[in-house]
């Protein structure tokens, strides 16, 4: 049975409370759990809304690991906002480019790609706190993926 990809009831109020009152909410492919993911789009900015409904899911371990990784210079989505009672988490949107497809397209670059993607999205993403797309970045110091 396919997962219901209707945004959670609490999503609109959660997003409005965190500065995204007029955002569109679009489904994004999920994983094999109760979590669901949505892309939140408001003009030129976007974020990912994770729906980790209690009691089936607890987003706290994800949040703690993401903060631990970013605190040490590794790439993990920035946590913009959370509501643990509803299981909603607003995350940095890394875009649609996925490591597996990138590596499959050029297997000889796998080791370099894994090292680069696991430590940073682009040179400026951590300093300026904005998303840098690999091929269409507005960041002057962005490097292409792999």
For residue 144, pLDDT over 90 is answered with no
Q: Is 102 helix (H, G, I), strand (E, B) or coil?
A: helix
Categorize the per-residue pLDDT at 17 as very low, low, confident or very high, splitting at 50, 70 and 90: very high
- Output the pLDDT for position 124: 43
Residue 70 corresponds to which tokens in the numbers above? 């970013």
For residue 32, pLDDT over 80 is answered with no
For residue 139, pLDDT over 50 is answered with no
- Output the pLDDT for position 49: 96
Distance (Å, whole) CA 138 – CA 133: 8
Categorize the per-residue pLDDT at 145 as very low, low, confident or very high, splitting at 50, 70 and 90: very low
Sign of CA dihedral 21, 132, 140, 70: positive
For residue 34, pLDDT over 70 is answered with yes
Q: Out of 36-40, 88-92, 102-106, 118-122, which region has the weakest mean confidence (pLDDT)?
A: 118-122
- Output the pLDDT for position 109: 66
Q: What is the mean pLDDT of the chain?
A: 78
């Amino acid at each position: 049975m396919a997962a219901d990809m209707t945004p959670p009831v609490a999503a609109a109020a959660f997003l409005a409370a965190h500065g995204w009152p007029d955002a569109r909410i679009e489904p994004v492919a999920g994983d094999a759990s109760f979590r669901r993911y949505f892309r939140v789009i408001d003009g030129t900015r976007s974020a990912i809304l994770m729906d980790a409904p209690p009691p089936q899911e607890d987003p706290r371990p994800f949040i703690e690991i993401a903060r631990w990784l970013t605190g040490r210079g590794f790439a993990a989505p920035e946590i913009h906002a959370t509501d643990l009672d509803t299981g909603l988490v607003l995350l940095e949107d890394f875009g649609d480019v996925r490591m597996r497809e990138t590596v499959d397209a050029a297997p000889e670059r796998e080791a370099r790609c894994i090292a680069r993607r696991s430590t940073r999205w682009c040179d400026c993403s951590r300093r300026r706190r904005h998303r840098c797309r690999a091929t269409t970045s507005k960041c002057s110091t962005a490097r292409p993926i792999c």
